[in-house]
Chains A and B, each alone.
Chain A
Amino acid sequence: MTSKNAFIACHRFGLGPHPGEMSQAAGDPQGWLRAQLSGPLPRLRTGEKRLSAADKLANLHLAPKEERGDIRRGYFDEIKLLVDDHFHQRQISKRPYAERLAAFWGNHFAVGNNSRAISSVITDHYADAIRPYMFGSFKDLLVAALTHPVMIGYLDNHLSFGPNSPLGELRKVRMNENLARETLELHTLGVNGGYTQDDVVALAKVYTGWSFTSPKTLGDEARYAEKIGGFGERRIGGGVFFSAYHERGPKTVLGKTYEEEGHQELLKVLEDLAAHPATARHIATKLVRHFVADDPPGGAVKRIETVFLRTGGNLPSVYEALIDLPHAWQQPFAKAKTMVDFVTAADRALIDYLPEPTGRSGILHNLGQAPLRPPSPEGFSDREEAWLTAAGVQRRLAYIALLSRKLRPPLLSVRVFEDTIGPVVSKRTDRAVFGAASAKDAVGLILASPEFQRR
């Protein structure tokens, strides 16, 4: 059964095999996956040294008005380079399991392009707050992902001010609960994780002050800093904290009271949330759904949850435990590939025949999974019914037709077949591929096959 397991390793855990990848994995599929977990993924390149999102936003808004258009355009050029490099890395990566995990966390901490305030730095979240932290502890990843200016802006925390903050005492201000609620519901405990509306409000208080430099913070600073004895701006990791906006007094979240301690409050609450059993359950459920089955088997969730708790959320241990789940190696076609993973799998399978993968954003927009445009803060769905819809599959087929026209001959369709679905292929698929009228059609049918569409 090594061939089936190589298929599962490359398709289910990976991004779809390169030529020869399945034979490489076949000897020890689990070991092949484990070896991919060593150390951080390559940084996404943009051609020059990049500033952090916090610095970029500060530079943008401190610049004279007439220069801001150019600065902003520069940032957007950087985003384009970064997105292209992202798809390039996915195509060439020899550590596809690690890339899948990075994408998983990117979707768990989904951010979207809905706000002008952060749209010019949107990709920095994935590049700076997700990828560099995915091989550490969940707690560090959580802090990096949630305090990053892009997440702050996406979920409105830059618009939340403590009514009893230094600034609130001079001017009537209000809070915004959005980031606090999603932190509890989506990023940590999960919706049935046992929190109440009071916890949401208390956490919103804890969050006040986490923001980024904007025309509003600069205006407030100019107007009020002297009156309240300084604005208290400081950089904490990739995030920016302004004590002038921070709600005073102790806050009680999930029954525990946190004394007033400025930016430290959030770091302490997130540490406790990261260690909460409901968080372990929630993250384990999502990981098992992602790598095993839409309806995650309880036994598999329990195993991952246990490892998560026992290791204090040590992510590499959790990733190894996923590889070791017997459930993951039983049903070779239990999951459907999402649009983005289908597109990448095709890029990898046809790497010898295709130009560099540019313009994938536009394609994915047509396919219904545009990067940086998740339907909600919950991210893209991980369930089959979201992807194998009538319109969705028809578009996959249309994309295959488009891709087939770009393939550079000579095309060795038999090699593509052996290198992608050969080991697990059904009689029907075998017959269709080998009955195809041309090599291009044969490759198209390989990509369209249930074996390739699923994993």
Chain B
Amino acid sequence: MDRRLFLGGAAAAGLALPGVSFASPNTEKRFVLIIQRGAQDGIHVLPPYGDPQYKALRKATRIPTPGQEGGALKLDGLFGMHPELGALAKLYRQKELIVFPAIATGYRGRSHFDGQNQLENGSNRPYGSSSGFLNRALRAMPSQPSGLSMGLNYPLAMNGKAQVWHFAPTTMKPPSDDFLARVEEMYADDPVLLGTLDAELLESAVSDLGVQERNGISSGRDLPSSALVAGRLLAKPDGPRIAILSSEGWDSHSQLLQKSLKLMPSLNRAVANLQTGLGSAWKDTVVMTVSEFGRTAAENGSRGSDHGTGGVSFLFGGAVEGGRIMGDWAGLRPQDLLDGRDVRPTVSTESVLKGVLGSHLGIPEGHLEETVFPGSRTAAAQTGLLKA
């Protein structure tokens, strides 16, 4: 029943354990990225109930108007929040959440794999870099803190040379210390394999979670538990400062309403758990949800929607100047849509990320443009996202 915390990253070899090696004091500022893989349907998550086209485009999957039974949670006269996303609606009312109703990365294709790759590698093109922008951001932060990756699948966004805690608890019994020591000796000339062995036992973060939750964190299928543990680890004084959580299953080509029965409560609980796990560190935290792209404005023939462009992101946390909906809404008439089918994006994901990484995590502009997000200079850092 060992609960292991693994240090990883492609070249963590030779790095000391957390809490030992920091040259400068760890920053208080924290950032969490939640990647919703498969392309979240923005119109479903944030129904534009005030848009006259909405009803006609979403006949089978429409969410009732605010006030009606099962209706959206009203944000303003145009947008509501999906009824299962109460935690996010509450943050909006508490002015700790900014909604981006029509956001997109620089990617304009419709491939999940290229879209996610571009988002995560940060070079403004698919396969433009083999390291991830979050890993490069860690190295560009003045205090050079550790990162945190949850689950067995290691995301490209965290790949690179910076130290990353790779958290994937298992119920498999580890080999003896003696055996591990011999393996370590054997791996001395193989930096990749050697780098995977630095390990530290960490009981407190998961000791109250059952086998199911621990397996769920590892497999990436239990976003709420991952969020809780990530919050606790981020809260530690010598803990990581940038975390990534992957949420799977957003590719709703069919049966959107059925898929939402799981996805929405899971996202909602993850938001609440993250806040719980972070405790007083919440005030220093910014969280952003992103997807590789959005989906078509209209639903398709199978009560779902197909790959599109503009989608929805949420930016929230104690450090966010929230209670706002940012970016223009071009509308949903055929002539308003991109290529006659997609929500027209009016805000750049990279701009928002640059705004957060720059103002919140203190990464200098030169580093942001040259190493963290090379190739997206036209997407200027968004200002005014954070509390003064």
A residues lining the B interface (CB < 8 Å)? 156, 159-161, 173-178, 181, 185, 191, 197, 200, 365-366, 368, 375-376, 378, 384-386, 388-395, 397-402, 426, 428-429, 431-432, 435-437, 441, 444-445, 448-450, 453
Most buried by A among B12, B168, B339: B168
Residues of A within 8 A of B387 (CB): none
What 1/0 flags go to B152-194 for Cβ under 8 Å of A? 1110000100000011101011111011101101111110110
Nearest Cβ distance between residue B58 and chain A, in whole angstroms? 13
Closest B residue by C-beta to A398: B172
Q: Bound complex: CA of A386 vs CA of B154, how far in Å?
A: 7
Residues of B within 8 A of A366 (CB): 170, 172
Nearest Cβ distance between residue B12 and chain A, in whole angstroms? 7
Would B182 and A394 count as touching, CB distance under 8 A? no
Would B110 and A181 count as touching, CB distance under 8 A? yes
Closest B residue by C-beta to A429: B186
Would A384 and B6 count as touching, CB distance under 8 A? no
Residue in contact with B174 in the complex, picked from A394, A432, A441, CB distance below 8 Å: A394
Chain B interface residue count, Cβ-Cβ cutoff 8 angstroms: 61
User: What are 24 A-B residue pairs whose CB atoms fall within 8 Å in the complex?
Assistant: A156-B302, A159-B254, A174-B302, A175-B301, A176-B306, A191-B109, A191-B114, A191-B126, A200-B110, A368-B218, A384-B192, A389-B196, A390-B8, A390-B9, A390-B166, A391-B218, A393-B193, A395-B152, A395-B172, A397-B175, A398-B173, A432-B183, A450-B187, A450-B190
Would A388 and B196 count as touching, CB distance under 8 A? yes
Q: Bound complex: CA of A375 vs CA of B249, how far in Å?
A: 10
Closest A residue by C-beta to B12: A390
Nearest Cβ distance between residue A263 and chain B, in whole angstroms? 20
Would A432 and B175 count as touching, CB distance under 8 A? no
Would A391 and B302 count as touching, CB distance under 8 A? no
Would A197 and B193 count as touching, CB distance under 8 A? no
Residues of B within 8 A of A389 (CB): 8, 152, 154, 166, 196
B residues lining the A interface (CB < 8 Å)? 4, 6-10, 12, 37-38, 109-114, 126, 130, 152-154, 159, 166-168, 170, 172-176, 178-180, 182-183, 185-190, 192-193, 195-199, 218-219, 248, 253-254, 299-302, 304, 306-307, 339
Residue in contact with A181 in the complex, picked from B159, B167, B301, B307, CB distance below 8 Å: B307
Nearest Cβ distance between residue B33 and chain A, in whole angstroms? 18
Residue in contact with B153 in the complex, picked from A200, A365, A375, A445, CB distance below 8 Å: A375
Using A159-B253, A375-B153 as known contacts, say yes or no to A177 and B301 having CB atoms under 8 A apart: no
Q: Bound complex: CA of A450 vs CA of B193, how far in Å?
A: 8
Q: Bound complex: CA of A426 vs CA of B193, how far in Å?
A: 15
Using A197-B110, A375-B153, A388-B196 as known contacts, say yes or no to A177 and B307 having CB atoms under 8 A apart: yes
In addition to A392-B154, A450-B189, 16 A-B residue pairs with Cβ atoms within 8 Å of each other are A161-B301, A176-B300, A177-B253, A368-B218, A368-B219, A385-B130, A388-B193, A390-B199, A391-B154, A391-B218, A394-B170, A395-B170, A397-B174, A400-B175, A426-B189, A435-B182
Nearest Cβ distance between residue A93 and chain B, in whole angstroms? 27
Residue in contact with B195 in the complex, picked from A390, A429, A436, CB distance below 8 Å: A390
Closest B residue by C-beta to A175: B301
Would A398 and B301 count as touching, CB distance under 8 A? no
Q: Bound complex: CA of A396 vs CA of B149, how far in Å?
A: 19
Residue in contact with A391 in the complex, picked from B8, B180, B189, CB distance below 8 Å: B8
Q: Bound complex: CA of A368 vs CA of B248, how far in Å?
A: 15
Would A445 and B182 count as touching, CB distance under 8 A? yes
**9 nearest CB pairs, A to B:** A174-B301, A390-B8, A159-B302, A391-B168, A390-B6, A393-B196, A398-B172, A401-B175, A368-B152
Would B196 and A390 count as touching, CB distance under 8 A? yes
Closest A residue by C-beta to B183: A448
Would A390 and B198 count as touching, CB distance under 8 A? yes
Q: Bound complex: CA of A389 vs CA of B130, how far in Å?
A: 15
Closest B residue by C-beta to A391: B168
Nearest Cβ distance between residue B190 and chain A, in whole angstroms? 4
Compute the total of residue contacts between A and B using a CB distance below 8 Å. 161
Nearest Cβ distance between residue B294 and chain A, in whole angstroms? 15
Closest A residue by C-beta to B169: A391
Q: Bound complex: CA of A264 vs CA of B229, how far in Å?
A: 54
Nearest Cβ distance between residue A165 and chain B, in whole angstroms? 11
Nearest Cβ distance between residue B250 and chain A, in whole angstroms? 12
Using A390-B199, A402-B172 as known contacts, say yes or no to A397 and B183 having CB atoms under 8 A apart: yes
Q: Bound complex: CA of A397 vs CA of B153, how far in Å?
A: 17
Nearest Cβ distance between residue A416 and chain B, in whole angstroms? 16
Residues of A within 8 A of B38 (CB): 376
Residues of B within 8 A of A173 (CB): 301
Would B173 and A402 count as touching, CB distance under 8 A? yes
Would A449 and B186 count as touching, CB distance under 8 A? yes
Would B301 and A160 count as touching, CB distance under 8 A? yes
Would A378 and B179 count as touching, CB distance under 8 A? no
Residue in contact with B193 in the complex, picked from A174, A376, A444, A453, CB distance below 8 Å: A453
Residues of B within 8 A of A392 (CB): 152, 154, 196
Residues of A within 8 A of B196 (CB): 388-390, 392-394
Q: Bound complex: CA of A176 vs CA of B303, how far in Å?
A: 10
Q: Bound complex: CA of A167 vs CA of B175, how far in Å?
A: 61
Q: Bound complex: CA of A182 vs CA of B176, how far in Å?
A: 45
Would A176 and B12 count as touching, CB distance under 8 A? no
Closest A residue by C-beta to B154: A389
Q: Bound complex: CA of A453 vs CA of B197, how far in Å?
A: 14
Would A391 and B166 count as touching, CB distance under 8 A? yes
Would A391 and B6 count as touching, CB distance under 8 A? yes
Would A428 and B185 count as touching, CB distance under 8 A? yes
Residues of A within 8 A of B112 (CB): 376, 378
Would B178 and A394 count as touching, CB distance under 8 A? no
Residues of A within 8 A of B114 (CB): 191
Using A378-B113, A432-B185 as known contacts, say yes or no to A174 and B175 having CB atoms under 8 A apart: no
Q: Bound complex: CA of A378 vs CA of B112, how far in Å?
A: 9
Q: Bound complex: CA of A397 vs CA of B339, how far in Å?
A: 51
Q: Bound complex: CA of A448 vs CA of B168, how far in Å?
A: 20
Q: Bound complex: CA of A393 vs CA of B9, how far in Å?
A: 12
Q: Bound complex: CA of A425 vs CA of B126, how far in Å?
A: 38
Would A177 and B306 count as touching, CB distance under 8 A? yes
Q: Bound complex: CA of A254 vs CA of B126, how far in Å?
A: 23
Closest B residue by C-beta to A430: B186
Residues of A within 8 A of B301 (CB): 159-161, 173-176
Using A174-B302, A185-B111, A384-B192 as known contacts, say yes or no to A436 and B182 having CB atoms under 8 A apart: yes
Would B166 and A445 count as touching, CB distance under 8 A? no
Q: Bound complex: CA of A402 vs CA of B170, how far in Å?
A: 13
Residues of A within 8 A of B253 (CB): 156, 159, 176-178
Closest B residue by C-beta to A370: B219
Q: Bound complex: CA of A426 vs CA of B190, how far in Å?
A: 11
Q: Bound complex: CA of A185 vs CA of B300, how far in Å?
A: 20
Closest A residue by C-beta to B186: A432
Residue in contact with B186 in the complex, picked from A156, A390, A428, CB distance below 8 Å: A428
Most buried by A among B159, B186, B299: B186
Closest B residue by C-beta to A396: B196
Q: Bound complex: CA of A194 vs CA of B187, how far in Å?
A: 44
Nearest Cβ distance between residue B180 and chain A, in whole angstroms? 7
Nearest Cβ distance between residue B251 and chain A, in whole angstroms? 8
Q: Bound complex: CA of A384 vs CA of B193, how far in Å?
A: 11
Would A391 and B172 count as touching, CB distance under 8 A? no
Closest A residue by C-beta to B165: A390
Nearest Cβ distance between residue A238 and chain B, in whole angstroms? 23
Q: Bound complex: CA of A368 vs CA of B254, how far in Å?
A: 27
Closest B residue by C-beta to A397: B175
Q: Bound complex: CA of A435 vs CA of B185, how far in Å?
A: 11
